[in-house]
Structure 1
């Protein structure tokens, strides 16, 4: 993984109500005419008004090398809303290693009351200083901002997109030479296509030469104000695939944009994928076998919003952290009154020496900032929890709880989403000529669609297209008890199990973990096991429940062999075996321009285990981006980590298939 260092808010001073970076000793914008300079350099320098007006594609991608106050983004947004087709989407991608705090951003944007509508949305959605990609959705989905909080080179090395226009911005090269370098220019070339343009305020010789070397034709044009010249450029090379090291992970979109999609399975993964597509203007039919949605693993009364952070920075930890922040933003938009979720934070207690050492190593080696996770004593943990705690641990400020079923209901409450319950799918087949998918429903009926997403957890293995996936169901039972007359828990508390603050005067806690028993009957021994886990973290509450008659529910989680979700296009299993057979002989074999073969129009989003609340929604975005050929909402390494084809490749290398 490319990053693990903490992200710090920018240190600034104010000069005439204008922010000045103390790190780079440079102003964020022109004091007298910041917006006018932005329009001249970046909007006009890329001819955006004309390109937006005449746009025929369903999306347009702008990428920027320094977000700063967001002025360029807000100006581009306003121009887009005024001139682009209403059914098209603007993807704006930017990077910031030292983001302004929300308060400083709010103060800076007061300069431009004409941008107030966009600024208010940006301020409300503005991410906390957490490393990684942050996808913000504005204007009902017409504007998608991907804000990458990390080093610019790391960010663009991890971006998977095709950029239409570049805003080469940031502090002046003399102030910030680390950003303006050949390696970054190389990434700009990698992400460009034959129609890509670029504009920047500088005309420095090394910038011109660096851009020319990666394929841009440079033109010096009049600069803004006292700046005599600036650069306007156009990319002139065909995109190269020579950089591809793992061709089997490439996403190649060849089908037209869908008007409609069918999704099978209406748990968190299915509902989140439906929402991601509906937000992009695509009609979705959601098929569910039960009488209601969210009846299986997504049917628990409460679930924890919890990122499992590792000792060493890895894909799973970064996916969990990115997914947690994404789900939080989504909840704030869907439920601003916090009726179905609680922003309570989360305690992970070290109930034994092994866990205590793991937490200490994690805090020391990953350098997570205190706003993400911090060490707490047993005394502080007791204060945070509102009940006696006898163990130290760590506190996650961004943790919390959510009602999974209520979240699913909010996600599907969309005019473009149609839910069909009592619909048991028995199989899917593809028409070899039309490539459409025929869905067989028990009872004799069939449905047909050009685009199909499977979100049926472990039951996906019953379909012939996914029989090769190493997935398994894991039984879990939660316990439910009255909270009346007991300590009022103030935060989610985790040990071997978890308990959330009471909702509607009821505590939900658990859960058991059984690999070998798929019986869903409620068992007293499992209630007893849940009480034992509770006693290890909150003895006061557990003791008060010792004689209580508990209720509960049991359901299956879907786990994968590597404990990561499976999300993306469905691989053509036989074609992969044939095309990449040489991996059995040499795992480093270089395949010349080998485009991976997928089952056209078929996608999957499963395998979230006990973390579906934080991985299901972000994986829904990954599926939507893959289907539509959009920029991905997370780093390429994370997209690869959840790619459904990864198990085929691993098994070829191991010679097990």
Structure 2
């Protein structure tokens, strides 16, 4: 029997997971299928379902997830979307994921996909997307009790897994079982390898009907259970799947296109209405934008939200866009000015997101090596319009340009869209408003939104291109040294940030302000920018972004059938896809891509609460 060893921070071996050991004796795939899949009645139980939601209490080496994903792939009656929400306090290394699947037929290719994204696992939720967004893993890094409190969905199946109860009794305690049960509906199935007497008794006390089944060697027995309490529990009715139908998204920029693609993956037929004739006008027409996490020394709310958003957008870019033409993951150097505060103490998991920049990196950028700076691996540049076009090409999405909606009116159980003359343009049971600063007028000014004008300056590479840094730099605006904007590579810098300014006309003084920021942060690169200005080779672009009063996006349901995803501010690339997935998850009762308390910080109704408070 192969021993699976984990290591503590001091280099000493930690007690191996009992379940991983016994699975290695018979075979991980066989154990996962017998104990967990068959124990929960899968695949028969999910046949024909729109969604299937699994809650797992211990991810370990990921064998249960990989086995469930494989079963989903092999089943012609599979649900449209498979959700797998799993908790793990101590994520293993990517190499361990590969080793555990190496001898299991069919699992290794899936493990390789997972391992390629298995990094930056800071405490909290991490969303991984596979199979064109139809297999969604939400890895919850942390102790089981707080991670269960952050869940807000009803599971169809529970995989009760983790360390041996003798080694980690908290994972199998009555409190944990009560927290798991809170996330279940009547009929939820449960599978586990443990047959401990106290576990059986505690499950029964929580309302589970427990069945002891034959196990696979070396385990003699395992358990299956079904949640069916003999007493009435308030609000216990089975979660009803939202039946996808026709819907309308208002806004053809980053926010609207992202929502359209997320809903289409779940079976909706989506029409995207936009005032302009084509998609990605307005702020989404920026020639190229920077995607980078916001990191603060205290790891504040924006830092945690931005990591979640950047992870999702990077996955979307990698799957959809042409590397080097429409996007590139380059890493980003962040200039810190006079702020010498250290990074938060989150251990090695933070390093792929943010770490102290090396002297070599600062010298390469033309920066003083003594200057405080951070380096972000998970960062790069993206052409926003390319991402918008890709989302709008998703099956089930149709862009309808030249459609200016003036009013949204309740019509029976749905909504009617009217033009300025009061004529009906369309009707739908579901409408999502993602129209940037125009969203407020469409919603009778129920939202407090502020325009934010921004202008960037850009120019072609010339003989002085060697003065430019080899990677993007941000911290006082941003500087992208190499993007394919013209017949040759170009640099782009900005942006200005004009609060309350909705005038898109180009301004010479804004170009001067962009240059001044470059001079302060990158004096060497400023020479190339000044040369292009003198040769009159530079061009400018301006657009108006939309921000909320607290500068966080607004995403969620205003009224039944009327949803919002807007106010991305200057971080549309960071937040558009995250907010789209949050809207879809709320609508369909899925596991959220964020901890519940972080999702609450983006909820559109917080403005109502703030006014009433």
Scaled by the length of structure 2, what TM-score is found?
0.90
The answer to whether residue 546 in structure 2 is matched with residue 555 in structure 1 is no
In structure 1, distance between residues paired with 2:370 and 2:517: 13
Cα deviation 1:293-317 (Å, max 9, x = unaligned): 1111111111111222234344322
Q: CA deviation at 1:256?
A: 4.3
Contact 1:272–1:617 under 8 Å retained in 2? yes
Check if 1:627 corresponds to 2:587. Answer: yes
Q: Provide the residue aligned with 2:110 in structure 1.
A: 118
Please tell me whether the aligned partners of residues 423 and 441 of structure 1 are also in contact (alpha carbons under 8 angstroms).
Answer: no
1:42 equivalenced with 2:56 (yes/no): no
* Pairing 1:126-525 to 2, within 5 Å after superposition: 126-237=118-229, 240=234, 256-335=242-321, 337-351=323-337, 353=338, 356-357=339-340, 359-360=341-342, 362-363=343-344, 369-376=350-357, 379-385=359-365, 391-431=371-411, 433-440=412-419, 446-463=425-442, 465-485=443-463, 486=465, 487-504=467-484, 505-525=489-509
Aligned to 2:605: 645
- Classify 1:443/1:555 alpha carbon distance in 2 versus 1 (closer, same or farther; 3 Å): farther
For the aligned residues, what is the CA RMSD?
2.6
Is residue 98 from structure 1 mapped to residue 90 from structure 2 by the alignment?
yes
Q: Which runs of 5+ in 1 are unaligned?
A: 1-14, 243-251, 571-598
Q: Which residue of 1 aligns with 2:9?
A: none
Q: CA, structure 1 residues 523+443, in 2 after alignment: closer, same or farther (shift >3 Å)?
A: farther
Aligned counterparts of 2:53 and 2:93: Cα–Cα separation in 1: 26
3-state SS of paired residue (2:344): helix
Q: Distance in 2 between matches of 1:87 and 1:193?
A: 18
The unaligned stretches of length 5 or more in structure 2 are: 7-12
- Is 1:298–1:405's contact at 8 Å kept on the other side of the alignment? yes
**In the superposition, relative to structure 1, how do residues 189 and 646 fare at CA in structure 2: closer, same or farther (>3 Å)?**
same
Report the Cα offset of residue 534 of structure 1: 1.0
Residue aligning to 1:543: 527
Distance 1:420 1:441 in 2: 17
Matches within 5 A, 1:61-80: 61-80=53-72
Q: Does 1:24 align with 2:2?
A: no
Structure 1 length-normalised TM: 0.84
Runs of 4+ that moved beyond 6 A: 252-255, 365-368, 386-390
Q: How many residues align?
A: 591
Q: Identify if the C-alpha distance between structure 1 residues 442 and 290 changes in structure 2 by more than 3 Å, giving closer, same or farther.
A: farther
Q: Return closer, same or farther for 1:516/1:646 CA change in 2, 3 Å cut-off.
A: closer
- CA shift for structure 1 position 42: 1.0
The separation in 2 between residues aligned to 1:114 and 1:459, in whole angstroms, is 49
Return the alpha-carbon distance in structure 1 between the equivalents of residues 151 and 364 of structure 2.
39
Q: Is the 8 A contact 1:97 1:152 kept in 2?
A: yes
How far the C-alpha of 1:272 sits from its partner, in A, is: 0.8
Query: Is the 8 Å Cα contact of residues 503 and 544 (structure 2) preserved in structure 1?
Result: no
Question: Judging changes above 3 Å, is the alpha-carbon distance between structure 1 residues 479 and 240 closer, same or farther for their aligned structure 2 residues?
Answer: farther
* 3-state secondary structure, aligned to 1:473: strand
- Structure 1 pair 302–387 and aligned structure 2 pair: CA distance change class (3 A): farther
> How far does the alpha carbon of each residue in 1:92-125 deviate from its partner, in whole angstroms, 9 at most, with x for none?
2112222222233223211112334533443344
